[in-house]
């Protein structure tokens, strides 16, 4: 047997428990599934793509543009940054890999929140780095504790803002206080996957700070509000110097042609984004008002999802909802045995979720 790379030996196997949608349909005899488990856009993507993306398939026999120029110009213009400050990836997941691969080695340290997006730590482990996990405080990043956790070996600090799975944000004031404490030799990566959903005015404008802090990387994605999850495309905004370093190890054709084209077109339809932002705020209100009525605790969310403490085993709720055709997310790694994360769906989808949740709670109460 070929010996597995030592840094990978301790990693868990790929989540085998999660069922695919067609398996769920078949197993429970369901026609429709309401998929509220992956924070995708329930309204799809811009209708412009339906019309304009298909003709692009004529070109798929050719390798994509390795410079990603058309999209780079459009994104730079949209964000008011220089094109050379952008790095694109096969989903922002690839950027997590690239950043870790580029800067981490055996003996290095990484600081993350606990609980947050799990891939920050996984990529650190693969590179042989160790991870300091700083517990959330009331579901929020504890930035002063994270700053204190930095030691001489620390290379990267990951901040997920809004945080997945809790949906909470760190404020502008907290972020700036934090940045002032962190030495320039430590990279601060702020994952803003849910940026376009935020409504809270205390949310930091870190994009405008990219020039001011030479150690700052911001990550965004087209997978969430832009509705392009299946095409796999995300990007980072940072200094031209960091972009150059990351480009040394980037696969030349890491972003496929259809993804480049779709993202380019999607950026130009900001009215679709505004509409989705608005519907998401309404959906959050619809869900939180009902959860209040049911007396369930949740964290205040600035994303397109809610972290709900149900008071009952999350595994039982998951199974119950699944049989009714509603898929939510539960994870053992959250170490919260009653929590479920539910994506904000369409108004109708939210209502089905709430009805089924209420049925479940009534049944349980009756059984007690």
Q: Is 7 in the site for ligand PLP (CB under 6 A)?
A: no
Q: Is 345 in the site for ligand PLP (CB under 6 A)?
A: no
Gap between the Cα atoms of 345 and 306, Å rounded? 11
The correct pick among 45, 53, 129, 160 for binding ligand PLP (CB under 6 A) is: 160
Q: Is 125 in the site for ligand PLP (CB under 6 A)?
A: no
Q: Is 164 in the site for ligand PLP (CB under 6 A)?
A: yes
Which stretch in 4-12, 91-99, 268-276, 351-359 sits in contact with ligand PLP by CB under 6 A? 91-99
Task: Tell me, by CB under 6 A, how many residues bind ligand PLP.
Answer: 14
| Shortest separation between residue 196's beta carbon and ligand PLP, angstroms | 12
Which residues, 6+ apart, have CB-to-CB distance to 183 below 8 Å?
Answer: 150, 215
Nearer to ligand PLP, 279 or 329 (CB): 329
Which stretch in 87-95, 125-133, 262-270, 294-302 sits in contact with ligand PLP by CB under 6 A? 87-95
Nearer to ligand PLP, 93 or 172 (CB): 93
Q: Is 198 in the site for ligand PLP (CB under 6 A)?
A: no
The correct pick among 108, 127, 191, 349 for binding ligand PLP (CB under 6 A) is: 191
Which stretch in 8-16, 22-30, 223-231, 360-368 sits in contact with ligand PLP by CB under 6 A? 223-231
Q: Is 221 in the site for ligand PLP (CB under 6 A)?
A: yes
| Shortest separation between residue 171's beta carbon and ligand PLP, angstroms | 18
Q: Is 41 in the site for ligand PLP (CB under 6 A)?
A: no
Gap between the Cα atoms of 74 and 185, Å rounded? 31
3-class secondary structure per residue, 220-259: EECCCCCCCHHHCCEEEECCHHHHHHHHHHCCCCCCCHHH
Nearer to ligand PLP, 117 or 353 (CB): 117
Q: Is 92 in the site for ligand PLP (CB under 6 A)?
A: yes
Q: Is 117 in the site for ligand PLP (CB under 6 A)?
A: yes
Which residues, 6+ apart, have CB-to-CB distance to 201 below 8 Å?
Answer: none
The candidate with the shortest Cα–Cα distance to 79, out of 200, 300, 250, 236, is 236
Residue with tokens 């693969």: 126
Gap between the Cα atoms of 65 and 256, Å rounded? 8
In Å, how far from its chain's centre is CA 363?
Answer: 34
In Å, how far from its chain's centre is CA 187?
Answer: 19
The strand pairing partners of 216, in sequence order, are 188
Encode burial over 146-181: b for 16+ CB neighbours within 10 A, e otherwise.
bbebbeeebbbbbbbbbbbbbbbbbbbebbeebbee
Residues 228-287 that bind ligand PLP (CB under 6 A): 229, 234
The correct pick among 223, 238, 310, 350 for binding ligand PLP (CB under 6 A) is: 223
Nearer to ligand PLP, 186 or 218 (CB): 218
- Return the number of other C-beta atoms located less than 10 Å from residue 204's C-beta: 22
The candidate with the shortest Cα–Cα distance to 131, out of 148, 103, 156, 101, is 156
| Shortest separation between residue 164's beta carbon and ligand PLP, angstroms | 4
Pairing of strands 234-237, 86-89: antiparallel
- Chain positions contacting ligand PLP, by CB under 6 A: 39, 91-93, 117, 160, 164, 191, 193, 221, 223-224, 229, 234
């Amino acid at each position: 047997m070929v010996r597995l790379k030592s840094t990978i030996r301790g990693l868990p196997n790929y989540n085998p428990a999660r069922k695919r949608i067609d398996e769920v349909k078949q197993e429970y005899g369901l026609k429709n599934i309401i998929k509220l488990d992956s924070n995708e856009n329930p309204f799809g993507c811009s209708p412009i793509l339906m019309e304009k993306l298909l003709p692009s398939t004529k070109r798929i026999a050719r390798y994509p543009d390795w410079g990603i120029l058309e999209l780079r110009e459009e994104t730079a213009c949209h964000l008011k940054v220089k094109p050379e400050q952008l790095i694109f990836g096969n989903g922002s997941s690839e950027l997590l890999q690239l950043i870790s691969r580029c800067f981490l080695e055996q003996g290095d340290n990484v600081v993350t929140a606990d609980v947050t997006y799990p891939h920050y730590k996984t990529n650190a482990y693969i590179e042989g780095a160790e991870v300091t996990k700083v517990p959330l405080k009331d579901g929020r990043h504890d930035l002063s504790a994270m700053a204190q956790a930095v030691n001489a070996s620390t290379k990267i600090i990951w901040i997920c803002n809004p945080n997945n799975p809790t949906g909470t944000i760190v404020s502008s004031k907290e972020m700036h206080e934090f940045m002032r404490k962190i030495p320039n030799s430590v990279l601060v990566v702020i994952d803003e996957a849910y940026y376009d959903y935020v409504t809270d005015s205390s949310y930091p404008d870190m994009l405008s700070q990219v020039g001011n802090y030479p150690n700052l990387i911001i990550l965004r994605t087209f997978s969430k509000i832009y509705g392009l999850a299946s095409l796999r495309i995300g990007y980072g905004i940072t200094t031209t110097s960091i972009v150059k370093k990351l480009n040394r190890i980037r696969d030349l054709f890491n972003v496929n042609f259809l993804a480049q084209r779709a993202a380019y077109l999607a950026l130009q339809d900001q009215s679709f984004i505004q509409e989705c932002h608005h519907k998401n705020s309404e959906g959050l209100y619809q869900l939180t008002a009902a959860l209040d009525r049911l007396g369930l605790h949740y964290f205040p969310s600035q994303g397109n999802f809610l972290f709900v403490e149900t008071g009952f085993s999350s595994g039982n709720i998951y199974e119950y909802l699944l049989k009714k055709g509603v898929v939510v997310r539960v994870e053992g790694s959250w170490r919260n045995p009653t929590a479920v994360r539910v994506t904000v769906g369409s108004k109708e989808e939210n209502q089905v979720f709430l009805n089924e949740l209420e049925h479940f709670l009534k049944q349980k109460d009756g059984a007690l």
